[in-house]
């Protein structure tokens, strides 16, 4: 009996510790989706918020419209506990009846209780009224939150960067990358001397009285919560009408501080040039039903859908510590309109699809402008930044903290891009570039769609399936080594009087039939592994260069 009670108390302690761990406040996004959030699917958010730069506060109402997909009498929204919730109302009941809710200072989760079990197929609409001071971003965009800054003339300069921690730090929502609303209404009230740039299409302004004005925006395509944003300052605009490769016309607009208007005019021509390049490779810009906007921001940058944040100080080549003949910060954020905003990882474990593909677009643009030499120079720089501390695409569910922790954060950019570089070598240009376009748009018909159905979720295995279908080969070995494992394959070299032996060594002795190009005696040869080894008869005094163009991501052994 004594052992029973001892075991009972140990088990109880473990359960309490587990519950405490689940409820402790961690500023992150995603992870395992709990039932109370899996039970519903959001189709529309309506944000009606007053943003006060004088005291750094937010107040107002967020309405959540959703479909019930599993029976439940309780749902969970996420909101930073530093905000006070005034009320939560059921908009589909008579007199907008108030709903009971519970929350704590140790959790972002707000549990909202319905009087009766809601059934699959039903809908609900709830309005959350709240106020408070949002978290201030310590180092945006990496350490996220709200950004309260000033222009050189002393006017407010406001932005948001919350990808790494989630939009729950400033408005209530279902914080998980797998649930995008189909559309979002954005109504932001600020001092009338400012201009507000946000997602989607501008719907005008209205007078809010006493020196305040409300800007109305509407995003017509599915959008990730962290991409919902506002940018406020006494902006001036630079704009032109752009004709997409699809034939659609849309506005490209740059919201820039007045003090930097001339610098903005000088930079602006790069926007349509970079847009055209990406459209020709990947297919039409996905959000041409709304616009393409760039907002001058008080931090480096962020890929907010249809209104990216730009803060690279109007200088080319700011991203990777090397000279580039183009504004690579802008090109990176623009690339996310395809990789991240249209094609989205439904769990953070596949976040390399956003960042690896996005980063590789800078190498392709360098090649477009400067040829093969510029491309290989860029790839050399990216490879130098790889840490290989963790696998790039783990199989378990991940939060943003888990993805960016333990050295994985940089690798999802740089190892992800280097993997695509090696995949290009294996597939050849024709099939590789076709894989990029069909991963962005699975069919030619989708390239002409602007109703939101062009937006989709994808995984690492989806891309593997596409590559296999296009090539008629099984490239599981390549994806396994580079994306699922941390350690790089090691290429060992042995030289005798008349023989060169190359051998691949991998973690757990996984198969790796990677062909290796060598330059020997003035000619190029390709060696194909047999049981991991490649043998070439060649005089000892002959000069040999292995993988002369550095196509293969690898480590060299003795």
At 308-351, the pLDDT tens digits run 999 999 999 888 877 688 999 999 999 999 999 999 999 999 99
Answer whether 0.75 is exceeded by the pTM.
Answer: yes
Distance from C-alpha of 427 to C-alpha of 432, rounded to nearest angstrom: 6
Distance from C-alpha of 553 to C-alpha of 546, rounded to nearest angstrom: 13
Residue 19 has pLDDT above 60, yes or no: no
At residue 110 the predicted structure's pLDDT band, cuts being 50, 70 and 90, is very high
Distance from C-alpha of 403 to C-alpha of 345, rounded to nearest angstrom: 12
**Cβ atoms of 218 and 200 closer than 8 Å:** yes
Average pLDDT score, the chain: 93
At residue 389 the predicted structure's pLDDT band, cuts being 50, 70 and 90, is confident
Distance from C-alpha of 296 to C-alpha of 35, rounded to nearest angstrom: 40
pLDDT mean over 246-264:
98
SS3 content of the chain, % helix, strand, coil (to 5): 30, 35, 35
Tell me the pairing of strands 343-345 and 156-161.
unpaired
Convert 238-271 to b/e letters by CB count within 10 Å (16 or more is b): beeebebebeeebbbbbbbbeebbeebeebbeeb
**Closest-CA residue to 505 (of 518, 486, 492, 495):** 492
At residue 22 the predicted structure's pLDDT band, cuts being 50, 70 and 90, is very low
Tokens representing 65 are 């419209």
At residue 11 the predicted structure's pLDDT band, cuts being 50, 70 and 90, is very low
pLDDT of residue 23: 54
pLDDT of residue 15: 36
Tokens representing 488 are 């790089």
Phi, psi of 433 (to 5 degrees): -70, -30
Instruction: For residue range 449-483, list pLDDT tens digits in order.
Output: 999 999 999 999 999 999 999 999 999 999 999 99
Residue 280 has pLDDT above 60, yes or no: yes
Distance from C-alpha of 246 to C-alpha of 232, rounded to nearest angstrom: 32
Residue 220 has pLDDT above 80, yes or no: yes
131 SS3 class: strand
Helix axis angle for 270-282 and 352-384, nearest 10°, is 110
**Closest-CA residue to 181 (of 64, 333, 86, 84):** 64
pLDDT mean over 235-241:
98
pLDDT mean over 3-9:
36
pLDDT of residue 92: 84
Q: Which residues, 6+ apart, have CB-to-CB distance to 334 below 8 Å?
A: 271, 274, 275, 278, 292, 308
């Amino acid at each position: 009996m004594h052992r029973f009670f001892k075991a009972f108390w140990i088990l109880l302690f473990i359960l309490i510790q587990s519950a405490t761990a689940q409820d402790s406040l961690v500023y992150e996004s995603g992870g395992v989706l709990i039932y109370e959030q899996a039970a519903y699917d959001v189709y529309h958010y309506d944000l009606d918020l007053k943003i006060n730069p004088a005291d750094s506060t937010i107040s107002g109402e967020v309405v959540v419209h959703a479909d019930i997909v599993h029976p439940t009498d309780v749902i969970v929204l996420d909101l930073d506990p530093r905000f006070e919730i005034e009320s939560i109302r059921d908009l589909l009941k008579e007199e907008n009846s108030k709903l009971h809710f519970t929350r704590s200072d140790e959790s972002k989760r707000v549990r909202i209780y319905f009087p009766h079990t809601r059934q699959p197929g039903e809908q609900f609409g709830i309005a959350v009224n709240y106020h408070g001071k949002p978290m201030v971003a310590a180092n945006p965009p990496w350490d996220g939150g709200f950004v309260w800054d000033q222009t050189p003339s002393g006017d407010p300069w406001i932005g948001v960067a919350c990808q790494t921690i989630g939009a729950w730090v400033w408005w209530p929502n279902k914080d998980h990358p797998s649930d995008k609303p189909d559309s979002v209404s954005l109504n932001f009230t600020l001092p009338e001397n400012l201009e507000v740039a946000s997602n989607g299409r501008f719907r005008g302004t209205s007078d809010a009285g006493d020196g305040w004005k409300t800007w109305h925006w509407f995003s017509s395509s599915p959008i990730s919560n962290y991409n919902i944003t506002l940018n406020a300052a006494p902006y001036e605009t630079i704009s032109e009408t752009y004709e997409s490769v699809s034939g659609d016309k849309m506005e490209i607009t740059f919201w820039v501080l007045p003090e930097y208007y001339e610098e903005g005019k000088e930079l602006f021509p790069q926007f349509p040039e970079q847009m055209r390049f990406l459209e020709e490779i990947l297919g039409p810009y996905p959000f041409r039903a709304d616009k393409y906007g760039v907002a001058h921001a008080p931090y480096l940058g962020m890929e907010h859908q249809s209104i990216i944040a730009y803060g690279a100080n109007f200088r080319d080549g700011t991203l990777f510590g090397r000279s580039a003949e183009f504004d690579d910060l802008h090109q990176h954020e623009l690339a996310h309109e395809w990789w991240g905003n249209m094609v989205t990882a439904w769990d953070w474990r596949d976040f390399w699809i956003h960042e690896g593909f996005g980063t590789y677009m800078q190498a392709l643009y360098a090649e477009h402008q400067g040829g093969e030499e510029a491309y290989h120079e860029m790839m050399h720089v990216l490879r130098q930044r790889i840490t290989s501390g963790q696998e790039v695409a783990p199989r378990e569910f991940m939060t943003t903290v888990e993805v960016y922790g333990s050295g994985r954060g940089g690798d999802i950019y740089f190892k992800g891009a280097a993997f695509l570089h090696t995949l290009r070598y294996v597939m050849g240009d024709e099939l590789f570039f076709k894989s990029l376009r069909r991963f962005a748009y699975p069919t030619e018909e989708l390239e002409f769609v602007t109703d939101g159905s062009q937006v989709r979720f994808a995984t690492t295995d989806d891309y593997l399936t596409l590559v296999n279908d296009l090539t008629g080969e099984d490239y599981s070995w390549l994806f396994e080594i580079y994306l699922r494992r941390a350690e790089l394959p090691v290429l060992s070299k042995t030289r005798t009087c008349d023989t060169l032996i190359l051998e691949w060594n991998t973690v757990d002795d996984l198969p790796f039939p990677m062909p290796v190009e060598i330059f020997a005696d003035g000619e190029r040869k390709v060696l194909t592994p047999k049981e991991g080894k490649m043998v070439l008869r060649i005089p000892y005094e002959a000069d040999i260069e292995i993988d002369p163009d550095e196509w293969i991501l690898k480590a060299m052994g003795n």
